[in-house]
Amino acid sequence: MRIGILGTGNVGRALAAGWARGGHDIVLGSRRPEDPELLKELKELLDAGVRVGDPAAATAHAEVLVNATPGTASVPLLESVGASALEGKVLLDVAVGFLEDETLSHPVVSLGEEIQRAFPATRVVKTLCTVDRVVMVAPQSLEGPSTLFLSGDDPEAKETVSGLLRDLGWPQDSLLDLGGIETARGQEHFALLFIGIALSTKTFGFGIRVVRPAAA
């Protein structure tokens, strides 16, 4: 599958590496695609066949577009690409926004909802934002099974995203569909609890598991 990833930070790079290993065709979108320092940092990915272009090139390439930009910058960046370029595409949104005081930038309406409202013809699916970049692409690194959540209004888009998650190693029974894009609020707000758990356990490499009631 052709995947465009907006953002060349740690999350974007991890996802690019994970999907490249699965045989997907990846283009990373950067505001500075010809920067020698950036290309040096991305050498291992480039050697694996990942390409780098500007955000418009990554979007044009993509069957699935991944938003791995800082949450406070996501909508302006997508606006610079343009609604027509995003029309009909599946947009997998990973981002969570934080302000300088470490509070959430989207305390009422989630970033996922904001993107969906700004681009109604784009099929937004929120996922992967409840685990760190290592666990995103290596769920087998955990001691036991973990749950990953999906939020979005388009069932077909969620099925497409589920396939990409399985390609990263997430088994189908780990994927929990929460419902419409409004449920992305819960995923993004988990970031506050995530930080608390990380500070308490001294690791970011953990997952959470939804444990259902025992059978009667």
Residues of the chain with pLDDT under 70: 216
**Amino acid identity, position 127:** T
Radius of gyration of the chain (CA): 17
Give the tens place of pLDDT for each residue, 170-184: 999 999 999 999 999
- Place domain 2-201 in its CATH homologous superfamily: NAD(P)-binding Rossmann-like Domain (3.40.50.720)
CA angle at 170 for the pair 181 and 14, rounded to the nearest 5°: 85
**Residue 215 Cα to chain centre, angstroms:** 34
State pTM to two decimals. Answer: 0.95
Q: If you ran DSSP here, which 8-state letter would residue 106 be given?
A: -
List helix spans (H) across the chain: 10-21, 36-41, 43-47, 55-61, 74-81, 83-86, 111-118, 133-137, 155-167, 184-201
pLDDT reported for residue 102: 86
What is the full DSSP assignment across 146-194? --EEEEES-HHHHHHHHHHHHHTT--GGGEEEEESGGGHHHHHHHHHHH
Would you put residue 83 in left (φ > 0), alpha (ψ -120 to 50) or beta?
alpha
Largest distance between two CA atoms of the chain = 62
Q: Is the dihedral of CA 62, 64, 68, 74 positive or negative?
A: positive
Q: How far apart are CA 185 and CA 9, in angstroms?
A: 23
Give the tens place of pLDDT for each residue, 61-98: 999 999 999 999 999 999 999 999 999 999 999 999 99
pLDDT reported for residue 216: 66
Parallel/antiparallel/unpaired status of strands 123-126 and 148-152: antiparallel
Per-domain residue ranges of the chain: 2-201
pLDDT reported for residue 215: 84
**Residue 10 Cα to chain centre, angstroms:** 12
Residue 5: count of CB within 10 angstroms of its CB? 30
